[in-house]
């Protein structure tokens, strides 16, 4: 699969992942045909979710963050993502 593959919306219409990102988030993919989708299985809902690699941001937890609670870690990760987005 790649971002040009289509999926069904809740209203029944079919749309490609690339077109959905453009219409809803104003994200125009640079390489819609050349990147394979990442498949993530959500055990809780028993569903597969497909992610466009170009829209992903690599994150991780530092040794310093490991001693914090989840809410603090999440706040740190989102703060870092916003900083990186502004730099790009």
Residue 23: its pLDDT value, please?
96
Q: How confident is residue 81, by pLDDT bands cut at 50, 70 and 90? A: low
pTM of the full structure = 0.63
Express each pLDDT in 24-70 by its tens digit.
999 999 988 989 999 999 999 999 999 999 988 777 767 776 777 77
39: left (phi over 0), alpha (psi -120 to 50) or beta: beta
Decide: 39 and 50 in contact? Cβ < 8 Å: yes
Residue 2 has phi, psi (to 5 degrees) of -140, 175
What is residue 80's predicted lDDT score, i.e. its pLDDT?
59
């Amino acid at each position: 699969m790649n971002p040009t593959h289509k999926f069904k919306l809740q209203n029944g219409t079919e749309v490609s992942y690339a077109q959905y990102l453009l219409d809803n988030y104003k994200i125009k993919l640079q390489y819609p045909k050349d990147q394979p989708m990442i498949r993530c299985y959500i055990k809780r809902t028993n569903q597969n979710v497909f992610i466009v690699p170009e829209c992903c941001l690599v994150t991780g937890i530092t040794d310093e963050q490991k001693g914090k609670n989840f809410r603090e870690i999440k706040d740190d990760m989102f703060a870092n993502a916003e900083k990186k987005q502004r730099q790009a």
